[in-house]
């Protein structure tokens, strides 16, 4: 049954609601292309022919006949459940199942929906930190220490960070995480590798996915949006690094110039590949809760992350790190789009979570840290590596996105 708008007022309302749907998507971490396609789908569903949408990294410009609207969209974080809900709503609009009044009601419900409860976020996120510490080269003891330090950091993120501006929250988070990492390092009765504990703990703050999404926007020729996202991620990481530097400075004052020395990669442990595969699966599934993925998709998200990581470590035996990351990203994209059509869920849900083991969050963090500490040579080294890996991941996703748009799956070309 068609729900096409019949009056000019209805068409204006359809445009306004389409722009509001785009705002919800953008502020919750959807990629630029999905935001634009969803707004166009909703407006077209109600017979709006004259329309134009311009999506930026932090704003939307919508126009039509006798209609113009500019929406400022602050960057809040990632909530994949909201993205999935708006995507499904747009599909229902395209199928003629939703009236303007119901569209408005459902958009309001999505806006007012609450995040996952703390009792779900807290244990799953901390478990994810434990697993990713092991995945990134830590020992079991390092992972256990990360579990403890990560617990205190996640408590701050879940309960206290919302009371501060985002940049200040990142700085405080870096300081709190650093203090507990150093405290555990000093009091531990067993040998711990400090770099592994730090990166395992701080990964919950590092916007590696946002950085990679920004690189994807640049690859898709959305230069303004891509630059905005990359700069936002960079300044967030700088704030985290400043917080870490403050904790190290306090430690140096108390323990006579104690600090990192050498390369952050020097302490990595070569854990068995099958254990890292298990860590990738469980860690990705755990972090899916932090990103707000629908609960029914936790297993699928873990499967996507494990597939990408498996190809990455296999390809790493023959290719460079960046080339292996490209192969891993292609795998994540393939699995994501396959699951999207199988589960009738946006590929973004699986893609965002599945990329977590691959994104160069550690390299990005160490780049900012070395810059804060005036160690320009290692900063350039890790920064160049982060750029290469992020560009490789973005390239893999862009290529697969183009190919998927040319392949029909059932009645639709994409999800």
The total of other beta-carbon atoms located within 10 Å of residue 338's CB is: 16
- pLDDT the model gives residue 223: 80
Contacts of 21 (CB under 8 A, 6+ apart): 38, 39, 42, 86, 89, 90, 107
Asked whether the beta carbons of 211 and 364 are under 8 A apart, the reply is yes
Nearest to 240 by CA among 372, 386, 360: 372
- pLDDT the model gives residue 8: 78
Q: What's the order of all strands across the beta sheet hosting 51-56?
A: 51-56, 59-64, 67-72
Mean pLDDT per 10-residue segment, the chain (415 residues):
65 90 89 86 88 85 83 80 91 89 93 88 91 88 94 90 86 92 90 84 80 72 80 84 84 68 60 90 92 92 96 93 93 92 86 87 73 80 85 84 62 46
Q: Which H or E run includes 345? A: none
The total of other beta-carbon atoms located within 10 Å of residue 331's CB is: 23
- pLDDT the model gives residue 408: 52
Contacts of 370 (CB under 8 A, 6+ apart): 376, 378, 379, 382
- pLDDT the model gives residue 411: 46
End-to-end Cα distance, the chain: 22
The total of other beta-carbon atoms located within 10 Å of residue 212's CB is: 31
Whole-angstrom Cα distance, residue 347 to residue 327? Answer: 18
């Amino acid at each position: 049954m068609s729900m096409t708008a019949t009056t000019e007022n209805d068409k204006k309302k359809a445009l306004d609601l389409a722009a509001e749907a785009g705002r919800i998507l953008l502020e919750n971490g959807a990629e630029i292309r999905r935001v634009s396609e969803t707004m166009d789908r909703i407006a077209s569903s109600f017979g709006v022919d004259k329309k134009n949408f311009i999506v930026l990294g932090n704003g939307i410009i919508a126009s039509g006949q006798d209609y113009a609207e500019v929406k400022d969209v602050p960057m809040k974080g990632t909530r994949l459940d909201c993205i999935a809900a708006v995507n499904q709503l747009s599909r229902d609009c395209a199928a003629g199942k939703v009236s303007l009044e119901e569209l408005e009601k459902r958009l309001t419900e999505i806006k007012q929906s609450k995040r996952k409860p703390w009792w779900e976020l807290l244990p799953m996120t901390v478990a994810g930190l434990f697993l990713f510490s092991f995945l990134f080269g830590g020992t079991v003891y390092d992972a256990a220490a990360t579990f403890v330090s990560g617990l205190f950091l996640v408590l701050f993120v879940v309960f206290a960070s919302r009371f501060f501006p985002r940049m200040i929250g990142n700085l405080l988070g870096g300081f709190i995480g650093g203090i507990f990492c150093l405290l555990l390092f000093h009091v531990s009765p067993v040998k711990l590798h400090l770099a592994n504990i730090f990166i395992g703990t701080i990964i919950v703050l590092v916007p590696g996915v946002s950085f990679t999404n920004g690189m994807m926007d640049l690859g898709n020729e959305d230069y303004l949006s891509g630059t905005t996202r990359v700069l936002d991620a960079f300044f967030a990481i700088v704030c985290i690094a400043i917080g870490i530097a403050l904790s190290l400075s306090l430690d140096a004052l108390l323990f006579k110039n104690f600090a990192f020395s050498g390369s952050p990669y020097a302490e990595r442990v070569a854990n068995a590949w099958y254990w890292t595969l298990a860590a990738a699966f469980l860690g990705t599934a755990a972090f899916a809760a932090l990103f707000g993925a629908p609960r029914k998709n936790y297993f699928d998200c873990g499967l996507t992350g494990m597939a990408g990581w498996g190809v990455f470590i296999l390809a790493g035996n023959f290719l460079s790190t960046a080339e292996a990351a490209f192969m891993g990203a292609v795998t994540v994209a393939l699995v994501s789009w396959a699951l999207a059509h199988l589960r009738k869920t946006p590929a973004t849900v699986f893609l965002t979570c599945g990329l977590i083991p691959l994104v160069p969050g550690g390299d990005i963090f160490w780049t900012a840290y070395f810059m804060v500490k005036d160690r320009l040579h290692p900063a350039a080294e890790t920064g160049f590596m982060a750029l290469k890996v992020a560009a490789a991941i973005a390239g893999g996703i862009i290529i697969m996105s183009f190919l998927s748009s040319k392949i029909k799956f059932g009645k639709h070309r994409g999800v």
